[in-house]
Structure 1
């Protein structure tokens, strides 16, 4: 079994390699050790995909989930993380395995057993689920909110609007909470259900369920009022006004 390790901590790489050498499930050859998002994207664009990938969630240059947004991953992925198992239920739902740090031989062998049992159809289904969970061209039902010491799934249906400022994107919910989002508004615009969300301008993506009413604004623009306070006034431009009005009435049109 050919494996790729994506991990930015040398001690963690060496520990995992030692356990792989000791495992009694199947011989494993580590064909590449990658430390960053950029290095991983470059590797998977130009190299044969392995039989299995061990991927740490947090890398030095950001969340490893960004790799899936930029390149198709053609192998089953086993995530390694120091997070509590409860938070990893989001992965289990999609059939994605994980290893809690510090990785033990028994947990590693469990994951290898699972990967080895895949037949061709199951393997392809697993790969498809993994890519579908993170790639931006699919409509998502949950966003994974990353914090320094944990992460959690946030149902998209609970989000009233997204707002970006100072190169940071946040999701606002009805309970008044603000959640940091590890995606740009452009990426979110590709993965959100366009029947439910609209890109109002460069700062906002708004949910139809969040709209209280709309004021006619000078210059043939609209000023959108939400059911909760927004960080600044939400103005829909003259060019976007027709598609916004159609979207509000339930008719989808291409946004300008």
Structure 2
């Protein structure tokens, strides 16, 4: 069975390949390792589809679901993620399997075993459902914020940035208030309008309208300054810098 791995972390690729080589469910040969949306789209436009795709949901240049918007995926997909099922609820259907990082041999063989039981017709149905589910995603316009004894709606357009620390996510709004958000940054990254919000790093999602200016930083990185105080400096990695530059120039 031929496989393509779509993953932007070198260590994660190495770990997955090592576990694939240990599995006894079926022989798997990795024919391509892709790091980004752009690289993946180019690959699928020029090479045959594999028998299986292992796809990390969050890549350096954005959500991996963007791949489905630019090219037809005609192979079963097993998603990989560092977060639990809650982060995938909006995208999961019964036929889609996923692997939680760090991936174990047991979870991998379970996923491959499920795939092996599929008939050709079931595999085709799986592919169609995967594409339909992802194409059916919607952008959220508001969040329901929970306090101790009440709920209240928060309009996404009023949020200047999201920040996470100690597994808690907080939304900072233009009126200077802080709002606890019961979602991970990864989940938010898949639900926010990517024209207006950018996943800067593991700690921040920032709004375009909150950006004051940008400093060149060490190691070909960028430091983003906002129009309001921030808990720590926002650093854009060397890998994400070209993606951020394209985003900042994008028309709203």
Tell me if TM exceeds 0.5: yes
Deviates more, 1:83-92 or 1:2-11: 83-92
Whether 2:199 is the aligned partner of 1:181: answer no
Name segments (4+ residues, structure 1) moved above 2 Å: 85-95, 140-145, 161-166, 176-180, 182-185
Alignment length (residue pairs): 159
Q: Distance in 1 between matches of 2:192 and 2:88?
A: 18
Aligned residue for 1:93, secondary structure, equals coil
Check 1:182–1:26 CA distance in 2 against 1; reply closer, same or farther (3 A cut).
farther
* Cα distance, 1:46 vs structure 2: 1.1
Deviations 1:82-105 (A, max 9, x none): 012333334443521100000000
Alignment of 1:55-94 (within 5 A): 55-94=55-94
Check 1:144–1:35 CA distance in 2 against 1; reply closer, same or farther (3 A cut).
farther
Alignment of 1:188-227 (within 5 A): none
Check 1:72–1:183 CA distance in 2 against 1; reply closer, same or farther (3 A cut).
farther
Q: What does residue 29 of structure 2 align with?
A: 29
C-alpha contact (below 8 Å) 2:93/2:129 kept by paired residues: no
Normalising by structure 2, we get a TM-score of 0.56
Check 1:164–1:61 CA distance in 2 against 1; reply closer, same or farther (3 A cut).
farther
* Cα distance, 1:116 vs structure 2: 1.1
C-alpha contact (below 8 Å) 1:58/1:64 kept by paired residues: yes
Aligned residue for 1:80, secondary structure, equals strand
C-alpha contact (below 8 Å) 1:94/1:129 kept by paired residues: no
C-alpha contact (below 8 Å) 1:91/1:97 kept by paired residues: no
Q: What does residue 2 of structure 2 align with?
A: 2
Larger radius of gyration: 1
Whether 2:39 is the aligned partner of 1:49: answer no
C-alpha contact (below 8 Å) 1:55/1:64 kept by paired residues: yes
Q: Distance in 1 between matches of 2:140 and 2:31?
A: 30
C-alpha contact (below 8 Å) 2:90/2:137 kept by paired residues: no
C-alpha contact (below 8 Å) 1:41/1:71 kept by paired residues: yes
Q: Distance in 2 between matches of 1:88 and 1:75?
A: 20
* Cα distance, 1:122 vs structure 2: 0.4
Q: Distance in 1 between matches of 2:106 and 2:17?
A: 14
C-alpha contact (below 8 Å) 1:94/1:130 kept by paired residues: no
Check 1:144–1:115 CA distance in 2 against 1; reply closer, same or farther (3 A cut).
farther
C-alpha contact (below 8 Å) 1:55/1:77 kept by paired residues: yes
Q: Distance in 1 between matches of 2:73 and 2:31?
A: 16
Whether 2:29 is the aligned partner of 1:18: answer no
Long gaps (5+) in structure 2: 142-152, 161-178, 182-187, 197-252
